[in-house]
Amino acid sequence: MTVRTRFAPSPTGFLHIGGARTALYSWLYAKKHKGQFILRIEDTDTERSTQEAVDAILNAMDWLGLHYDEGPFFQMQRLERYRDVAEQLVKEGKAYRCDCNKERLEEMRKTQIARKEKSRYDGHCRTQHLTAASPHVIRFKNPTQGDVIVEDKVRGRVLFKNEELDDLVLIRSDGVPTYNFSVVIDDHDMQITHVIRGDDHLNNTPKQINLYHALNLAAPVFAHIPMILGPDGKRLSKRHGAVNVMNYRDEGYLPFALLNYLVRLGWSHGDQEIFSQEELIQLFDLDHISRSSASFNASKLLWLNHHYIKTLPSNILQDDLRFHLQNAGADLSQGPDLEKLITQQRERYKTLKEMAQGSLFFYKESPPSPDLIKKHFTPSLQKTLSEFKEILLKLSPWDEAVLHACLNDFATQHGMKLGELAQPLRIAITGNTVSPPLNHTLYLLGKERSIKRIEAVLSNINP
């Protein structure tokens, strides 16, 4: 049997952390078993589904590197298939037409609640044998006796009583299928063998299993993973970090870090925290998914992100850094090579957005403010900087070791502490009081631009 998994988001919003973890688990399981991973867009909520959300989901999947083998498939392009199956169930006596209006259904619900009964359809139209002439929905004739057993790969055996299940709507009056119906048809047609999804869908599973039985189809293997909670133990929300996955890209996180973090939110392999993609594919299984909800920890994600910035090859990081530099207004036609910049900056910054902001002066003129000049530059220092500039003009070669020696020798010869020279020099060339070590900064900025910036500050020092 070829393993086939799927990720099936609804395009009613962006891809968030919980959805990304579900996609990752499904992707990993397929890759581990050398199977296929399918992307399906469940867009039957016509009022809330948008093209913007579809694009956001596709962009997020691409950024995360969760490339699908088939798809994306769209349910709204398969309406005829769902209607045909529903009509076949009606012919076989396994489904029926229902024309109960909203008022009757609402009154029924209120009565059931008053009696402290579970709210569900009362079967009024089961024996009416309605025709298709008037507006109606198609309902499934759910068994009224017996049990449905879900052999879940995470939760174990879960039992549901048929008498507590509803005669669910299969096709709405507008001809659009409901979730529980369309997902069964899709998973069968797409030959899905394993359904990995959030445990908020567990109560849907017995309804779907009954539909599989009615259609004489084998149900897939189910694995329902617990939800992700915030650090306060409550359902993950925007204030905890349940935002659009692409927000993490915009804040300077790496897809490697986010995926590594997400996989550990509910799955473990001993005490190992950091995995390569190859290790995840080799080690991932459903047996080690926890039944307990995981807690989102932003600090741990940030730690992982810093780890990857420090350890990944610079050439892998440069495209992501380029994105952040361009967003910050950098002119990449000037300035140092990105790989060299990353090598010098990677220990200092936990996100690439921070690295871009801290490196912007290399690619964009950043003159110090008048207040900084007034505070740090005196007429006597003007003379010292002028002398140092003349030395830099003659310096050769322009490399970090030579610059380091030059700075130290000049400070010693003038009876200065290195910081007394380095700090005003740093302000002159970066416009700020913080930068990488000064010899590295001068080297990366280059001789011509370094000297021009020193000259610009010298011309602005008031005697």
Determine phi and psi for 222, rounding to 5 degrees: -110, 140
In the chain, the percentage of residues whose pLDDT exceeds 90 is 83
Alpha-carbon distance of 204 to 142, in angstroms, equals 13
**96 to 131, 143, 161, 176: CA distances (angstroms):** 9, 13, 22, 16
Helix H or strand E encompassing 71 = strand 70-74
Q: For position 212, what pLDDT does the model report?
A: 98
Among 195, 144, 184, residue whose Cα is nearest residue 165: 144
Q: Which residues pair with 139 in a beta bridge?
A: 96, 169
In terms of Cβ atoms closer than 10 Å to its own Cβ (0-12, 13-18, 19+), residue 320 is buried
Residue pLDDT, tens place only, 325-370: 999 999 998 889 999 999 999 999 999 999 999 999 999 998 998 8
Helix, strand, or coil (residue 207): helix
Q: For position 232, what pLDDT does the model report?
A: 79
**Residues contacting 69, CB < 8 A, separation 6+:** 30, 36, 37, 38
- Identity of the amino acid at 233: G
- Identity of the amino acid at 204: N
CA atoms within 13 A on the CB side of 117: 15
Q: Which residues pair with 198 in a beta bridge?
A: 225
DSSP string, 3-62: -EEEE---SSS---HHHHHHHHHHHHHHHHTT-EEEEEE----TTT--HHHHHHHHHHHH
Determine phi and psi for 126, rounding to 5 degrees: -55, -40
Catalytic one among 118, 238, 383, 417? 238
The interaxial angle of helices 338-345 and 438-445, nearest 10 deg, is 170
Instruction: Give the residue carrying structure tokens 């299969």.
Output: 170
Please list the rounded mean pLDDT of every run of 10 residues in the chain (463 residues): 96 93 98 98 94 96 97 97 98 97 92 88 92 93 96 97 95 96 98 97 97 98 93 73 84 97 94 94 96 92 97 94 95 92 94 96 91 85 91 94 95 91 92 90 94 91 67
Secondary structure of 260-309 in HEC code, one letter for each residue: HHHHCCCECCCCCCCCCHHHHHHHCCCCCECCCCEECCHHHHHHHHHHHH
The strand pair at 228-229 and 221-225 is best described as unpaired
Does residue 20 contact residue 266 with C-beta atoms inside 8 Å?
no
- Name the average pLDDT for the chain: 93
Among 279, 249, 228, 220, residue whose Cα is nearest residue 38: 220
In this prediction the pTM is 0.92
Is 238 part of the annotated catalytic residue set? yes
